[in-house]
Amino acid sequence: MLYDHILEFRGEWRSYQKRVLDHFLEYKRDGKVHIVAAPGSGKTTLGIELIRLLDQPAIILVPTITIREQWVERIEEAFLCQGIVASNYISQDIKDLKLITVTTYQAIHSAMSGYQGELVEEDDEGIKRKEEVDYHDYHLLQAIQDAKIQTICLDECHHLRNEWWKSLETFKKELKWDYTIALTATPPYDSSLSMWTRYIDMCGEIDEEITVPELVKEGSLCPHQDYVYFNYPTKEEQQEIKVFKENGEVLLQRIMNDLQFQSVIQSHQCLHGHIDLDHLLEKPEYLSALLIYLEEKKLSYPTQFKQILGYKQLEKMSVKWLQILLQGLLYDDTFSYHIDEDYQKELIKELKSLGFIERNQVTIVVNQAIEKMLVKSVGKCDSIKDIVFHEYKCMKDDLRLLILTDYIRSEYEKAVGDDSRDVHNLGVLPFFELLRRENENQQENIQLGVLCGTMVIIPSHAKEKLKMLVEEPERISFESLGCISQNEYVKVNMSGNNHSIVGAVSSLFEMGYIQVLIGTKSLLGEGWDSPCVNTLILASFVGSFMLSNQMRGRAIRTFTNNPQKTSHIWHLVCVDPQKAKTLEGLEASEDYQTLCRRMEHFLGLHYTDNIIENGTERLTAIKLPLNQHNIQLTNKQMLQLSSNRDHLKKRWNQSLAVYDKMEVVEDVEVKEKMITAVILTDAIRHFIMTLICGVLGMILGISLLPILGTMAIILGLYLFIVLYCLFIFAKKIVLYKNPLSRLQIFGQGILQAMQATGQLESLHCIVKTELMGIYHVVYLAGGTGHDKTLFAKCVYEFFGEIDNQRYILYKSRKKRKMEGYFVIPEIFAKRKEDAQIFAQYMKPFIGRYDVIYTRNTQGRQILLQGRIHALANRQERCLTKKKVKGALE
């Protein structure tokens, strides 16, 4: 046995981890073990144990250098047997393969392409990490074979750049691997079928999925809740936004008066009949921008374009339409114009000087600089201050609050204790000084601390305790910080390796010497974990979703010393005052959109109902639109909701207690008015017609009976058939009268169409429907996560608005009615054959409809009619969200 006396897990397996290990022999039969595990579930630990059980030399591929080091540290801390020298068996260099080699996907890509130079990776503090590599004469595949490495472990492989993914596919294909272990917290359920198939081909079918609700019920994670605190930009930031918008308006006026620009636009091939209409209609917004410009300048264009787009009156030229037009002219559709190369270069130069071009994207409406400014708004400093002091007033000495951010900002060290210096900036030291000053102003006694790779600050009264917690206290020294007295706070220095200082400061935090700890995300990369954290403020703005998942996972772990622990996770969001006025709120800022995307991946407790679901809809305290008044109301309610932790724990228990077994399904919530009654009205019409025919036939038969005595038998048979048909139609009326029954029939049609076109991975799934308030809910129970997501996507698209779909369903006799048009979901719209199969399986729900291809003139006219008349275009779209339900037995 290769791993005997080298690796042995020194902890205790949690029940769900044990479940995976108990089924290990079954999972490995196909050579692939694929585990989906929520953050905080010990995914890395499970992966190491699986490698140990497979008992072969292994290579572990990870997304970043930080995570690579984290894997090695986890092996050393939790598995390495006493007396074993790690460097003899574990390597982080693919040119020095060992029993276990941990490397990055970037390194594999570089080795496969024979790269020589620097591998550059930006770490969580914005500092670039560089590694010199030389693979120009290194034959990786041969080296792997020589080292007899037969097990490959893939950590979060779907997050890769496309070129890295291609190298990974080649790497796996060229070598005969006995086993593949795939680990992820976020499988790409919402990807296209081709991308999902590619992912499953790489990783194998999902063998086990461990969800957050399951972990809370099992006791590995504590009850927790997400809260959001909003702010507007500062006056200075708002002035920047104003200047940016004014520059856009000035540019618009200049372009509209530019005769050379006018000449270029008039040269577009579509205005001279040299371009395919089908091609143009793939981007109707772009064609609209072209026409709006020409109309504004009172220039001629083919009138059929206006008709095809469905415009009675074109909009006025605006910055928004100029952005779309310039994107086509300068980058996406340049070949369609006659444009002088020098003029094009000058135009691009002008736009770049104004900050209106980024990475070949024209951005006049909003650019990355403005969005980054909002994301890093200084106004968030006051949000942090409000949250910290609110949480302290609620929890007092029990508070263990962690603030994670991106930068240390060492230049602010001199401002510590100097009240004349402004410290409103995003970073460790500005946060520390801001809270220290507020502590004095409010005469509170919150104990603050800082823990970063190059900066450690502790309260002065914790100095002696810190020395007791480290093995070589003589290596520690203290010095003053800024202008404050050493009797208040001190900066900690440690000669030599300062790795042990991290554990010592974490212990101070756990024991209460520090109640609010401020650090950078690099803590996570150092394998840092402090289960005492009961409040987390995510003041981190440059991290990936994977990293925010890790941060959140740190805060929601259970703490042995406090079985009643609950956790709060605070998200900070800045919104653009002008855009925040839209009712939906999504346009408010990229910051808010990021929050919405994060919430799509987090299953959590609804603010008011005892249900566990994803999405921002569960955060009912958010008041839209996000104007200043509503932001104040929202923030106030967020603070009120976060005041009762006991109630939070009770509600989590109530929400989970009803399920012996649970599964995560993807609900689609549909309002009753969206569930078409076409089949009900058809059944009623057929019933009435049959009844009339029956009555007329009976009257005619009775009147002829004296003349033709033999008609009695025929009349009796006729009446029997009529009565039978009336019974069938009456039964349908009773069944179809219930919207849930109609939705069930619709769901069955979608499921059967997916099966007929080979879109499903599992045959063990059923359609379920429920009534929840004003919503009728349909979802797929059983099956794989991908099946559930794909089914929900089809339902959502079917009930979605008629816009620019490739195929739609249409009934000519209902063309002026709302139910005359329906969307054919994207997965059935790539081929006409699939679109027709979909129509066939929808027939029991809506009757016989024609399949219309919209990329020709006739189809386009029908599509435009559909935009006007279709039901979905007049109503709110349906909602889709993941929820926890009882699992199928």
Q: For residue range 237-247, what is the model confidence (pLDDT) as tens digits? A: 889 888 999 99
Phi, psi of 520 (to 5 degrees): -100, 165
pLDDT confidence tier of residue 745, bands split at 50, 70 and 90: confident
Per-residue pLDDT, averaged over 641-655, amounts to 93
Look at residue 588 and tell me whether its pLDDT is greater than 80. Answer: no
The topology (CATH level 3) of 15-210 is Rossmann fold (3.40.50)
Per-residue pLDDT, averaged over 444-456, amounts to 91
Look at residue 133 and tell me whether its pLDDT is greater than 90. Answer: no
Residues 150-172: tens digit of each pLDDT = 999 999 887 777 888 889 999 99
List of E strands, 727-871: 765-772, 775-782, 807-810, 821-823, 850-853
- Indicate the Cα dihedral angle 509, 510, 512, 518, nearest 10°: 30
pLDDT confidence tier of residue 522, bands split at 50, 70 and 90: low
Phi, psi of 580 (to 5 degrees): -65, -10
Classify each residue of 865-877 as buried b or exposed e, where b means 16 or more C-beta atoms within 10 Å of its C-beta.
bbeebbbbbeeee
Of 881 and 262, the one with more pLDDT: 262
Decide if 291 contacts 301 (C-beta within 8 A): yes
Round to whole Å and give the CA distance between 160 and 109.
11
Report helix, strand or coil for 206: coil
Report helix, strand or coil for 537: strand
Choice among 25-29, 205-209, 581-585 with the minimum mean pLDDT: 581-585
- pLDDT for residue 694: 67
Of 826 and 584, the one with more pLDDT: 826
Angle between helices 711-736 and 678-704 (to 10 degrees): 160
Look at residue 584 and tell me whether its pLDDT is greater than 70. Answer: no
- pLDDT for residue 436: 96
Choice among 418-427, 474-483, 671-680, 836-845 with the minimum mean pLDDT: 671-680
Q: Reply yes or no on domain 375-658 having CATH 3.40.50.300.
A: yes
Measured from the Cβ of residue 443, the count of other Cβ atoms closer than 10 Å reads 6
pTM: 0.77
pLDDT confidence tier of residue 394, bands split at 50, 70 and 90: very high
Round to whole Å and give the CA distance between 48 and 640.
43
Round to whole Å and give the CA distance between 255 and 252.
5
- pLDDT for residue 125: 40
- pLDDT for residue 731: 61
Residue reference for tokens 């769901």: 747
Mean pLDDT score across all residues of the chain: 85
Per-residue pLDDT, averaged over 613-625, amounts to 90
- pLDDT for residue 126: 44
Residues 340-391: tens digit of each pLDDT = 999 999 999 999 999 999 888 999 987 777 888 888 889 999 999 999 999 9
- pLDDT for residue 681: 64
Helix/strand/coil (H/E/C) assignment for every residue in 300-341: CCCHHHHHHHCCCCCCCCCHHHHHHHHHHHHHHCHHHCCCCH
- pLDDT for residue 414: 92
In terms of DSSP H, where are the helices of 460-568?
Answer: 463-469, 499-511, 522-525, 545-555
**Considering the chain, what percentage of its residues have pLDDT values greater than 70?**
85
Measured from the Cβ of residue 761, the count of other Cβ atoms closer than 10 Å reads 18
Report helix, strand or coil for 402: strand
Nearest to 352 by CA among 326, 373, 333: 326
Look at residue 574 and tell me whether its pLDDT is greater than 50. Answer: yes
Look at residue 461 and tell me whether its pLDDT is greater than 60. Answer: yes
What DSSP element (H or E) covers 884? strand 879-886
Choice among 38-42, 205-209, 617-621 with the minimum mean pLDDT: 38-42
- pLDDT for residue 46: 94
Look at residue 236 and tell me whether its pLDDT is greater than 50. Answer: yes
- pLDDT for residue 362: 93
Nearest to 887 by CA among 652, 664, 668, 606: 664
